Amino acid sequence: MYSRRGFIGAAAVLAGAGVVSGRSQAAGIPEPASAKSAATQAPLSPANGQDYQPVVTLNGWTLPWRMNGEWKEFHLVAEPVMREMAPGMQVHLWGYNGQSPGPTIEAVEGDKVRIFVTNKLDEHTTVHWHGMPVPNGMDGVGGLTQPHIEPGKTFVYEFVLKRSGTFMYHPHSDEMVQMAMGMMGLFIVHPRDPQLYRVDRDFAFIMSSYDIDAGTSLPKVMTMTDFDMWAWNGRVFPGIDPLVVRRGDRVRVRIGNLTMTSHPIHLHGYSFEVTCTDGGWIPASARLPEVTTDVPVGAMRAFDFVADEPGDWAIHCHKAHHTMNAMGHDVKLLLGARERDLRQSVTKVVPNYMSMGSAGMAEMGRMQMQLPDNTLPMMTGFGQYGPLEMGGMFSVVKVREGIAPGDYGNPGPYRHPAGTVAYEVKGASEEAPRRSEAAPAVGPAIEGKAIKPGSRGPTSHH
């Protein structure tokens, strides 16, 4: 929830807004709002100014503002925060206004925005408005376009929103550390014409990644590629809320990427069109139908679709390692090995030995393993038919009949109409048929012997 003080502060000032122009009048800093919870907050409908369909920030919230004359005033506070990545895992991050990512800033094309930034970190920072056309001195590159904001200081950014679209904000000051610690947020600018590109439901999230050793709560900020927590808005599955949609709605999903690698985001059940990048809206004639869109590093993509098919539709990054939590990459590969014998011998010297399963890793989704405090299983989450065997960048688009406008509450599992779920065939052979010629007979006698491709069997049988 918004803190009561902050929320009332944002609303109450509307009445008392005087005529203010120019930076000399910018004193009187708005009281900053702060969020305590990582639950998705109801979108913040515009109480004044131009109408628009507000975005829903997955597991996040929207920053209240006040009007001060012609200026829309926001207040960001850069500060250390605790973020729950999923139930059972709390992480020390840096963020804004109580959370990481920071609150979504939302405004309208043509708005004059004044954004106060207070630095409550122990080192200096700045804010860069990623993708936004701003005067050079408002671009937030510490040392290049402005002095860094020292701890305890407040700076003001003022600019006119020239272009609608999907943007981000993040520091340009000790950038590697500050972004690795989770300093980022979304900045959505709606078109001046409320009907232009309008959708019924508009979801937004920003992607970040962390390297957090099991049992610890601080990201290793020097890590460059080998991350183990792949997050949407600082959450990992099963901690990511579903995208709840009424059947027939026109839906938009806006995605930003501030990780160190690209993420091909895949939606099941639909084809969509990429309608917007951080460079602007894509003309209708140039949009391709897609089911996956790759979101490059330092970029944003928004895609639209009409939700005409009810169900629980998976949405996830298609890099399979990014739908895992706390993944150790040095697990030994034992697919096809006679692991039971191996496990028995290894356990004599390494009591808590655990390996990847010999049939695959699915057994990990069912196991209730003893984990260190403050970490998450690699594969987790249960659906109505069993374990989902997912983590990281995974959620569900839940399309249902008759959901009330503005209702984003989880409707529970989809009730499939009779006869529409994949089913087992009874009476079929328990032995899957195999190609007898090419398949070598594997038995105890040939363990450890090489089987050459194309040979008719193991050499030990000759």
**Is residue 319 within the footprint of Cu ion (CB under 5 A)?**
yes
On whether the CB atoms of residues 86 and 238 are closer than 8 A, the answer is yes
**Is residue 295 within the footprint of Cu ion (CB under 5 A)?**
no
On whether the CB atoms of residues 78 and 119 are closer than 8 A, the answer is yes
Which among 15-23, 116-124, 310-318, 354-362 is the span making contact with Cu ion, rule CB under 5 A? 310-318
Closer CB to Cu ion, 294 or 363, in the complex:
294
Count residues contacting Cu ion (CB under 5 A)?
Answer: 4
Q: How far is the CB of 68 from Cu ion (least distance, A)?
A: 41
Q: How far is the CB of 264 from Cu ion (least distance, A)?
A: 7
DSSP-derived secondary structure letter, 41: P
**Is residue 343 within the footprint of Cu ion (CB under 5 A)?**
no
Site string for Cu ion, 379-408 (x = CB under 5 A): ------------------------------
Site string for Cu ion, 253-292 (x = CB under 5 A): ----------x-----------------------------
Q: How far is the CB of 322 from Cu ion (least distance, A)?
A: 3
Query: What backbone torsions phi and psi does residue 364 show, to the nearest 5 degrees?
Result: -65, -30
175 in helix, strand or coil?
Answer: helix
Query: What backbone torsions phi and psi does residue 246 show, to the nearest 5 degrees?
Result: -85, 135
Q: How far is the CB of 317 from Cu ion (least distance, A)?
A: 3
- 66, 124, 322, 398: residue in contact with Cu ion (rule CB under 5 A): 322
Q: How far is CA 149 from the centre of its chain?
A: 28
Query: What gap in Å lies between CA 289 and CA 305, rounded to an integer?
Result: 10
Q: Which two tokens stand for residue 70?
A: 């012609």
Q: How far is the CB of 258 from Cu ion (least distance, A)?
A: 13
Closer CB to Cu ion, 172 or 322, in the complex:
322
Q: How far is the CB of 259 from Cu ion (least distance, A)?
A: 7
Q: How far is the CB of 194 from Cu ion (least distance, A)?
A: 34
DSSP for 372-438, please give it: -SS---SSEEEETTEEEEE-BSEEEEEEETTPPTT------S--PPTT-S--PPTT--SSPP--TTT
Ranges within 187-206 binding Cu ion (CB under 5 A):
none
Closer CB to Cu ion, 220 or 319, in the complex:
319
Query: What gap in Å lies between CA 153 and CA 143, rounded to an integer?
Result: 16
- 236, 317, 364, 379: residue in contact with Cu ion (rule CB under 5 A): 317
Closer CB to Cu ion, 190 or 263, in the complex:
263
Residues near Cu ion (CB under 5 A): 263, 317, 319, 322
